[in-house]
Amino acid sequence: MLKGKKRGTPTLRNQKIRPAQFGRSFSINDILGDMDTPKTTPKDFFLWAGAMVSLYAGVIAFLALIFDYLNYVFPDTALTYYVDPYQGSVAYEMATLIVLAPVFLILMRVIRRAIAADPTRNEVWVRRWGLFLTVFFAGAVIVVDLIVLIYSFLSGEEIGIRFLLKVAVVLLVASAGFMHFMADLWGYWQKNPSYARYVNWATALLVVLTIGSGFVIIGTPQSQRALRLDQQRVSDLQSIQSQIVYYWQQKASLPAQLSDLNDSLSYFTIPVDPETKAAYVYKRQSPLDFSICATFGAAGTDQYGSPVARPVAYGAPADKWGHAAGEVCFDRSIDPKLYPPAPTKGL
């Protein structure tokens, strides 16, 4: 006579197994659960690692580039000198965006295609970690950005248009990233792949417009190079003018030609045009009047704090160094009261 199954008899699925070589027990559920979890392949890991690195570096470059634009349009009034944007960080930030933005978009497109072909790729740990980490960073940036704004207001600091625009840009970028990747965690982009393509195209367009607007705001690299060369020309003319004044104080007369200013003891050598290597033009108009001339590549002004083709003032405060493009001469007159000749020593 067959007996019924006793109550409490363990089934195969929850039966404990204790292999001697491991020294611990585990159930069949553990094995089946491990089989259900998708494994992260090297392809998954490097696709997501590349996407996240290109995203973070690209966003940082984008924000830094926007900040440089704002610094250029709304310059700091405390600065009395001109800085070529392309000699600073603008060129590097543009290059970073040009390279990393397409890299990120291509990697995300490959990832989404892989998920569409194999939905289990949605559950790999590297994807969930990457998305949650990005959402966390975006949320933290939003919080810190608002803290900085409120702190600046409460502490009575000056809140200008440049500061407010920077806060707004950071808030918009962080909020857009937060919402985009939260939607990815909720599976919104998998359910609406056409919208994901629209977002990719909008991101690419934003990068193109950001870089293109830089050429409009601060000019092309070629125009900035022309300004930089003109800045050096003005600096050379200021140096020549200072040496002419010193020559007149020592000898009570203006030099007949620029070569008279060369002095091996003071190591002064007459500079030449930084681009053409041609000599600057000097004209002695009278015993106290002279002109110095140079050929400029672009128009420039000597107003402080503007994109000008000149350094910090080197000559007399009343000297004007604004110029048009082409050959420009600067007329100067020595005032003996301001620059008296050196007294002659008796024998």
Q: Report pLDDT digits (tens) over 48-68.
A: 999 999 999 999 999 999 998
- Phi, psi dihedral angles at 220 (to 5 degrees): -80, 165
**In whole numbers, what is the pLDDT of the chain averaged over residues?**
80
Contact in structure between 189 and 44 (CB atoms under 8 Å): no
Q: How distant is the alpha carbon of residue 53 from its chain centre?
A: 17
Helices marked H in 74-124: 90-117
Summarised one tens digit per residue, pLDDT across range 278-326 is: 999 999 999 899 999 999 988 877 543 344 433 343 444 456 788 888 8
Instruction: Give the whole-angstrom CA distance, residue 184 versus residue 200.
Output: 13
pLDDT digits (tens, 9 = 90+) for 174-228: 999 999 999 998 988 888 888 888 988 999 999 999 988 888 777 777 877 888 8
- Give the pLDDT confidence score for residue 20 in this predicted structure: 45
Q: Are 85 and 217 in contact (CB under 8 A)?
A: no
Block residue for tokens 């790999």: 124
The SS3 of residue 319 is: coil
Indicate the residue type of 24: R
* 230 contacts 298 by C-beta, under 8 angstroms: yes
Evaluate whether 162 touches 71 at the Cβ level (below 8 Å). yes
- What integer pLDDT is reported at residue 87 of this predicted model? 60
Does pLDDT of 12 surpass 60?
Answer: no
Q: Which tokens hold the place of 291? A: 């002109």
DSSP summary character for residue 312: S
Higher pLDDT, 267 or 114: 114
Q: Which amino acid is at 125?
A: W
pLDDT tens sequence across 222-253: 877 888 888 889 889 999 999 999 898 888 88
Residue in this structure with the two tokens 């985009």, named with its chain if needed: 180
End-to-end CA distance of the chain: 146
Looking at this protein, which amino acid is placed at residue 149?
Answer: L
Average pLDDT for 3-18: 47
Query: 120 with 99: CB under 8 angstroms?
Result: no
Which of 296, 293, 274, 298 is closest to 224 using CA atoms?
298
Does the structure show a pLDDT above 50 at 30?
A: no
What is the per-residue pLDDT for 212? 87
